[in-house]
Amino acid sequence: MDIKEKLKDIPHLPGVYIMKDASGETLYIGKAKDLSKRVSSYFQESRPKTAKRIALLEKIKDLDYVIVGSEEEALIYEASLVKEKKPKYNVELKDDKSFPFFKLTLNEKFPRLIITRKKIDDGSIYFGPYTKVKLLRSAASILKNIFPLRICRKIPDESCLAYHIGQCLGPCVNKIDKRSYDEIVEQLILFLEGKKTKLIRELTDKMKKFADEKNFEQAAVIRNRLSALLEVSDRKTADYSSWGNVALKLKNCLRLPNLPLKIEAFDVSNISGKEATGSMVYFNNGLPDKTNYRKFRIKNVKGVDDYAMMKEIVHRRYKRLRKENKDFPDLIIIDGGKGHLKAAYEELLKLNAGRIPVIGIAKQEEKIYTLGSQEPLDINRDSEMLHFIQSVRDEAHRFALKYHHALRRNNLRKWQKN
């Protein structure tokens, strides 16, 4: 697929674009509020071209992009990718001393997140540089609601307004201990490094751990932080303009009979078996189709049994499709390892739908499992194919959590009324 064809497929959504040469080496990374408009502008004949732009355009042979939830998130993700990939044509951004940074003051007992244009060796950690200070300030405001670190230069003797409105956890009045505060700092670092998948997984595991220990107050705190993170990143599916290549790699690697143009992915969500829910997300030609998303309230499983819950939602989905005489997907993705995959496949067999290709992606090591093999597939962790499978799984996880939290809020309101 040539560049002009790829340009037609880029959506009008916020994200980060990645320009590559013929060998696959990254040349330039940029961000955009509207990916389609921004990337297309590079190739417009009417646009004035500098010597640098002409040199860049001559070398561009491939394009990738990653969709994110907001322009602010694109700003942060762009900087983390530039730091990781070190593209040749981003050198001005790396060297220019006028661009702002996020500074996390790790040299303080209770660190703060501030914006600065000066990098000094004082024990702090810096993120960036970022290209737009106005957008960076907007991102900082969003981050305060998710990771409520202190904002005061000197810790006061009494709580301030930020504490009372929920934008600080009150280390000044001992409302949070050092260990718990440092955990939030570590979570913020993951986000600023562009490691959202790992962060969401860690928060989810921590929430379940507190719930299993009957520490429902702390579980609710983590749940609210996770909800805020998912809300600001609402849709965080990574999607590539080279979708055609990804689909072909999926077909060959997984030995699929057809290109996986229609994909359905399943996840379950519960805290100690309460308000258990399931989700199914639907991707068509590499893009999420939210009109075909489905949510399930678990009806037939008591207690904590993820395998049984997975069986229930898979059975309900494909029993309905068969009854309505609708097409089955080209690929099913299950959030889980060998046990979850086996549970889903058993239900497909009961419905005479065992020919539908189905894979599982294990949470801990991000390994891909297929039917008939005890060992995971040998896939490069940096491959576009794995990133795409992860992104579909993450969207199913986000959708399941969103429904789960909605049910818990509704039940809390009913309890308060009574």
pLDDT in tens, 115-130: 998 888 999 999 888 8
409 and 309 share one domain: yes
How much is the pTM? 0.54
How much is the pLDDT for 412?
52
Pair 20, 26: CB distance under 8 Å: yes
Q: What is the pLDDT of residues 301-345, one digit of tens each?
A: 887 788 999 999 999 999 999 999 999 999 999 999 999 999 999
Nearest to 391 by CA among 313, 287, 307, 289: 287
Please report the pLDDT score of residue 80 as a whole number: 85
pLDDT of residue 243: 64
My answer on whether 84 and 162 are in the same domain is no
Domain boundary among 64, 92, 120: 92
Domain boundary among 77, 92, 107: 92
Question: Look-up: residue for tokens 């190739």?
Answer: 43
As given in the structure block, the two tokens for residue 42 are: 């590079």
CATH number, domain of 252, equals 3.30.420.340
Of the chain, the percentage scoring pLDDT greater than 90 comes to 25
Q: Last residue of some domain: 154, 178, 193?
A: 193
Range(s) of the domain holding residue 20: 3-92
